[in-house]
Amino acid sequence: MGCISSKKVSEPDVNGYNNRSGRGRVNVNTTTAAHDHHHHHHSYQQQPITHPHLHQKPHPAQYNTQERPPIPSLVKPSQPQNPKPALNSSTILGNQFEDVRAFYTLGKELGRGQFGITYYCTENSTGLPYACKSILKRKLVSVNDKEDIRREIQIMQHLTGQANIVEFKGAYEDKHSVHLVMELCAGGELFDRIIAQGHYSERAAASICRAIVNVVHICHFMGVMHRDLKPENFLLASKDEKAMLKATDFGLSVFIEEEHPWIKNGEAPDKPIDNAVLSRMKQFRAMNKLKKLALKVIAENLSKEEIQGLKSMFTNMDTDNSGSITYEELKTGLARLGSKLSETEVKQLMEAADVDGNGTIDYIEFITATMHRHRLERDEHLYKAFQYFDTDNSGFITRDELESAMKEYGMGDDASIREIISEVDTDNDGRINYEEFCAMMKSGVQQGKLF
């Protein structure tokens, strides 16, 4: 995102975090902007969706992007542990309590609002600075308050990695608070920058407006309405005059309901797919067959809100509403995007995404090839995929299990299986354990990058 140094830095004097009379809350990387006044207009609110696949997760991290370097456990198991039930109806996030201080050191207070406090914090494993918005649970008195927090986290998780949007790191819950860790934007609010600047040239104003419009475009393209855009809810990545502008405060935001009369009568737009998704498709093409199948298992177990934006993209490309994307639709869609790919390259993307080899890309295949690669950093997804191949629950994927799974998709030729085992089986015991499987899945996923 360009605003966080890889070196440990001292706590900055961050403007824009202080509560200001007349606005009544903390706006910058702080407590939810909308909680003061938002319970009266949720006409588009999507009810929270349960995550049945999370019952299989090995530890509570439902709302964490897991893009931080993993914290090594005290004991490294040689094979996957039996999954523990994770959903907890007595908590707001539905998980067991998880201490944010195990991952971050909280520093000075940056701001205070009606629902809680924002702190400067440092990631223990890297020394990188972030902002931690700590929301007091005793202030969340109604069911709607709790649903709003869950939805805000889901939307931030969905949008993270996109340009001009504050990066989300993870959410944690303890007995007293819900903690949201996100990118630290040291330049403060756009509102304060405008007041301090006093005057903008047409060129400078156009640059700011372009960034704001880009946020609107990204949100709508990803199936989200922000619903609270104003200068107080845009942050500057640094104090530099040309610092990147970032949107924050998704407390009023909702997922777009496609069945709403205003939405369902629309037509597919001219721009069906963005460059980030195209990049993911290219990377998918280069993956080995085991990794592609594992991603398909993960895609099939993602919750509705996790794929809301990709579903919109699929619908945009599927111009004849057939439920699958043909070669011509992919070629036309990429051309409308302005892609310079040759016909050979388009065919290669088509063949890579078409896992079952039927000549078209169906919905699950599209999600598999285009989903954000931070899914590969989340243990509950990796464990679920490993279990799919490890049919006898031995903690290892044997040659026979690999061959059986791959033959279901016409991939089980001897050469492919030998190549996969040779590549993944680093201890050369002729089978793939959980650590080897995770290493394969996470290879090529760079921290903090959008893939």
**276 shares a domain with 298:** yes
**256 shares a domain with 203:** yes
CB 110 within 8 A of CB 119: yes
> Chain centroid to CA 111: how far?
26
| Residue 81 domain flag | no
- Boundary-marking domain end, from 266, 286, 311: 266
Question: CATH code at 433?
Answer: 1.10.238.10
| Residue 82 domain flag | no
The model's pLDDT over 6-17, given as tens digits with 9 standing for 90+, comes to 333 444 445 445
**199 shares a domain with 330:** no
Report the number of distinct structural domains present in the chain: 2
**262 shares a domain with 273:** no
The model's pLDDT over 388-429, given as tens digits with 9 standing for 90+, comes to 899 999 999 998 998 888 887 767 677 888 888 888 988 989
* Per-residue pLDDT at 321: 85
CB 233 within 8 A of CB 11: no
Within the chain, which residues score under 70 in pLDDT?
1-89, 258-277, 304-306, 308-309, 336-340, 372-378, 410, 412, 444-451
d(C-alpha 261, C-alpha 280), whole Å: 32
- Boundary-marking domain end, from 247, 266, 285: 266
**425 shares a domain with 398:** yes
* Per-residue pLDDT at 265: 53
Nearest Cα neighbor of 246 from 264, 269, 263, 229 is 229
* Per-residue pLDDT at 86: 44
**378 shares a domain with 290:** yes
CB 244 within 8 A of CB 164: yes
* Per-residue pLDDT at 364: 84
d(C-alpha 128, C-alpha 220), whole Å: 31
**340 shares a domain with 229:** no
The model's pLDDT over 43-52, given as tens digits with 9 standing for 90+, comes to 333 333 333 3
**247 shares a domain with 308:** no
Q: Which three-class secondary structure string do you get for the chain?
A: CCCCCCCCCCCCCCCCCCCCCCCCCCCCCCCCHHHHCCCCCCCCCCCCCCCHHHHHCCCCCCCCCCCCCCCCCCCCCCCCCCCCCCCCCCCCCCCCCCCHHHCEEEEEEEEECCCEEEEEEEECCCCCEEEEEEEEHHHCCCHHHHHHHHHHHHHHHHHCCCCCECCEEEEEECCCEEEEEEECCCCCEHHHHHHHHCCCCHHHHHHHHHHHHHHHHHHHHCCEECCCCCHHHEEECCCCCCCCEEECCCCCCEECCCCCHHHHCCCCCCCCCCHHHHHHHHHHHCCCHHHHHHHHHHHHCCCHHHHHHHHHHHHHHCCCCCCEECHHHHHHHHHHHCCCCCHHHHHHHHHHHCCCCCCCEEHHHHHHHHCCHHHHHCHHHHHHHHHHHCCCCCCEECHHHHHHHHHCCCCCCHHHHHHHHHHHCCCCCCCEEHHHHHHHHHCCCCCCCCC
**300 shares a domain with 152:** no
* 339: number of Cβ within 10 Å: 16
* Per-residue pLDDT at 255: 82
Annotated binding site for ATP: 137
| Residue 218 domain flag | yes
**419 shares a domain with 296:** yes
Residues assigned a catalytic role: 228
Question: CATH code at 101?
Answer: 1.10.510.10
* Per-residue pLDDT at 121: 97
- Boundary-marking domain end, from 266, 289, 308: 266
| Residue 68 domain flag | no
**231 shares a domain with 114:** yes
| Residue 65 domain flag | no
* Per-residue pLDDT at 88: 57
Annotated binding site: 137
| Residue 67 domain flag | no
CA distances from 417 to 4, 297, 384 (A): 42, 19, 21
**157 shares a domain with 275:** no
| Residue 60 domain flag | no
> Chain centroid to CA 125: how far?
21
Q: What are phi and psi of 272, to 5 degrees?
A: -85, -20
| Residue 307 domain flag | yes
Segments forming the whole domain that contains residue 127 = 12-50+87-266
Residue written as tokens 């394969």?
440
* Per-residue pLDDT at 450: 29
Contacting residues for 418 by C-beta, under 8 A, at least 6 apart: none
